[in-house]
Amino acid sequence: MPIQAILFDFDGTLADTLPLSFDAFRCVFETYENETLTNEQITAIFGPTEDDIIRRNVSDSSKAEAAIADYYAFYENHFHERVSMPRDIVHMLEDLNGQGVRMVIITGKSRRALDVSLNKLGIEKYFCFSVSGDEVERPKPDPEGIFAVLKLLGLSKEEAIFVGDSSADITAGKSAGLMTIGAHWFETVQTARFDPEPDRVLKSARDLTELVRESGAALER
C-alpha cells in the first residue's frame, strides 16, 4: 500500500538539538541541585516534557517554576549559536513534500520548546501539524500520539511510517503497527543501539528520500 505520510520525531531526527537540550538541563541542575549531569544521565530521564522533567527532579518544588523559566531562557538564547539547519534535512523535507508525502512531527518536547525550535529553524511549513509531549496523556514509547495522528489524517497504519532516533520512538512505532525507520544521521542521538530494532536504520537523510522514491512510495517490510 502506498505510503501517504511520514511521522517524525524531532530532537536528533529533524534537528541536531540534543546537545543544546543537554546543556540547558545541565545548567538547570547545576544551579538548583548543585549536580552536573552527564548526557547519559539526562537521556535516562527523557520521556516527559522539559517542564515535567524539571518538576520531577528539582528537589525544592518551590523553585521548580523558576528552574523551568531558566531552562527555556537558556534554550532560546543559545539556540542560534548551537543549532543550525543542515541542508540535507531541508532537501529531504523539500523532496518528500514534492512527492506529496504528508509529514507530521510527534515529539516528547513541550509545545513551547517545539515552537521555539520550528520558528528559529524555519521548517514549520513542511508539516501538516505537530503533536507535542504536553498534548498527549502518555508520551512515547506509548503509541497514543501516533494513533491520534493516523485518525486525524484518516490513514491506516499501513499508509504511514515512523522515523526516530531513540528506542522509545521505535517502540511507539512498532506498537502502533507502523514500519519504523531508525534515524542515525546526526552525530548526537538518543540511542546508539536500538532496542527493539527498527525495520531499517538509515545513516543519511538522503537515504529516506531515496527509499521513498525508489519504492514508488510503497515501502514494504
Q: What is the pLDDT of residues 96-109, one digit of tens each?
A: 999 999 999 999 99
Share of the chain above pLDDT 90, in %: 90
Phi, psi of 61 (to 5 degrees): -60, -25
| Region 137-164 average pLDDT | 96
Reply yes or no on whether the pLDDT at 8 is more than 90.
yes
Q: Give residue 143's identity as a one-letter amino acid code.
A: P
Break the chain into its structural domains and give their ranges.
5-16+86-214, 18-81
- Which residue in 154, 179, 185, 182 sits closest to 168, CA to CA? 182
In three-state secondary structure terms, 201 is strand
Q: Which CATH architecture has domain 5-16+86-214?
A: 3-Layer(aba) Sandwich (3.40)
Reply yes or no on whether the pLDDT at 219 is more than 50.
no
Q: Which of 21-35, 120-134, 203-217 has the lowest mean pLDDT?
A: 203-217
| Region 195-213 average pLDDT | 93
Whole-Å CA distances, 176 to 7, 98, 138, 153:
12, 27, 14, 15
**What is the end-to-end Cα distance of the chain in Å, rounded?**
11
Average pLDDT, the chain: 94
Q: Is the distance from CB of 196 to CB of 178 less than 8 angstroms?
A: no
Confidence class of residue 214 from pLDDT cuts 50, 70 and 90?
confident
Q: Give residue 28's identity as a one-letter amino acid code.
A: V
Residue-level pLDDT at 115: 98
Handedness of CA 205, 211, 216, 219 (dihedral sign): negative
The three cell numbers locating residue 190: 538518543
pLDDT per residue as tens digits for the range 90-142: 999 999 999 999 999 999 999 999 999 999 999 999 999 999 999 999 999 99
pTM: 0.93
Reply yes or no on whether the pLDDT at 164 is more than 80.
yes
